[in-house]
Amino acid sequence: MNPDKEYTVVINGKPQGPYGLSDLQNLNITPNTFIRKPGMDDYKEAHAIPELRELLGFKYQKTAPQYFAAFDQRLLASVIDHFIIFGIYTVIILISYIFIQGKDERIMAFLVPFPVVFIVKLIYGVFAESSLKQATIGKRILNIKVTDLEGSRITISRSIARNFSKILSVTPVFFGYLYSFLNKKNQCWHDITAETLVIKDRLI
């Protein structure tokens, strides 16, 4: 493949190309034409790609998110995150058994620090969801991420508010999570409190 021709353009609903930058000038591309190049997770509208804005004279059009992560996606992402952290926790405990010989002592060594798994998940979520990736490993695997109401990256203070507000969603027998089924944007109570969304990319 010619490295200069790296843009795939959706024309009449079908991906076509690849095209080079010079080729794009001869196509009837609008700001909302979907285009993709190597390294991009999904297609983006032309106005959202910096070099195309410069080439074609488009202005960036910020639009509110329209595709929201379903409850099952969010739940599976959380399970993946907890599984990874629990795995690391288990390895650390097993290493500690080198120095702990008694059976009862080993059981206590495993159970007493167990709440640390949930504390680590909480702290990890705060930093991961306010990072450039806007997601934990579980969310990244499922191609979903946390944003503010306009689809932008959240600040660490908002991420703290979101993650610590999860107690509101858990306390009434997890109804705060189930509330996402009643919300048009699939928001749980902690999302509403922190004014955040969990979104998924638009697919072609």
Per-residue pLDDT of the chain (204 residues; tens, 9 = 90+): 555 678 899 988 889 888 888 888 888 888 888 988 887 878 888 888 888 888 888 877 666 788 899 999 999 999 999 999 999 999 999 999 998 888 888 899 888 888 999 999 999 999 999 999 999 999 999 999 999 998 889 999 999 999 999 999 998 889 999 999 999 999 999 999 999 999 987 654
Judgement on whether residues 32 and 130 belong to the same structural domain of the protein: no
Pairing label, strands 14-20, 5-11: antiparallel
Residue 24 domain boundaries: 5-56
Contact between 158 and 148 (Cβ < 8 Å): yes
Q: What is the pLDDT of residue 141?
A: 95
In the three-class reduction of DSSP (H, G, I as helix; E, B as strand; rest coil), residue 5 is classed as strand
Judgement on whether residues 49 and 77 belong to the same structural domain of the protein: no
Judgement on whether residues 13 and 82 belong to the same structural domain of the protein: no
Q: Looking at the domain assignment, is residue 123 inside a domain?
A: yes
In the three-class reduction of DSSP (H, G, I as helix; E, B as strand; rest coil), residue 44 is classed as strand
Judgement on whether residues 41 and 134 belong to the same structural domain of the protein: no
Judgement on whether residues 77 and 164 belong to the same structural domain of the protein: yes
Q: What is the pLDDT of residue 61?
A: 67
Judgement on whether residues 77 and 133 belong to the same structural domain of the protein: yes
Facing residues of 20 across strands? 5
Judgement on whether residues 49 and 121 belong to the same structural domain of the protein: no
Q: Looking at the domain assignment, is residue 63 inside a domain?
A: no
Q: What is the pLDDT of residue 27?
A: 84
Q: What CA–CA distances, in Å, run from 140 to 40, 62, 129, 201, 202?
A: 14, 23, 10, 11, 15
Judgement on whether residues 184 and 125 belong to the same structural domain of the protein: yes
Q: What is the pLDDT of residue 62?
A: 67
How far is it, in rounded angstroms, from Cα 196 to Cα 155? Answer: 11
CB atoms within 10 A of CB 88: 12
Judgement on whether residues 163 and 79 belong to the same structural domain of the protein: yes
How many domains would you assign to the chain? Answer: 2
Judgement on whether residues 96 and 12 belong to the same structural domain of the protein: no
Judgement on whether residues 104 and 161 belong to the same structural domain of the protein: yes
Amino acid type, 156: I
Q: What CA–CA distances, in Å, run from 52 to 17, 21, 88?
A: 16, 8, 44
Facing residues of 5 across strands? 20
How far is it, in rounded angstroms, from Cα 6 to Cα 129? Answer: 31
How far is it, in rounded angstroms, from Cα 154 to Cα 92? Answer: 32
Judgement on whether residues 24 and 77 belong to the same structural domain of the protein: no
How far is it, in rounded angstroms, from Cα 204 to Cα 201? Answer: 10
Burial pattern 28-55, b for ≥16 Cβ within 10 A else e, equals: ebebebbbbbeeeeebbbbbbbeebeee
How far is it, in rounded angstroms, from Cα 158 to Cα 15? Answer: 38
Q: What is the DSSP letter of 201?
A: -
Q: Looking at the domain assignment, is residue 64 inside a domain?
A: no
Q: What is the pLDDT of residue 204?
A: 40
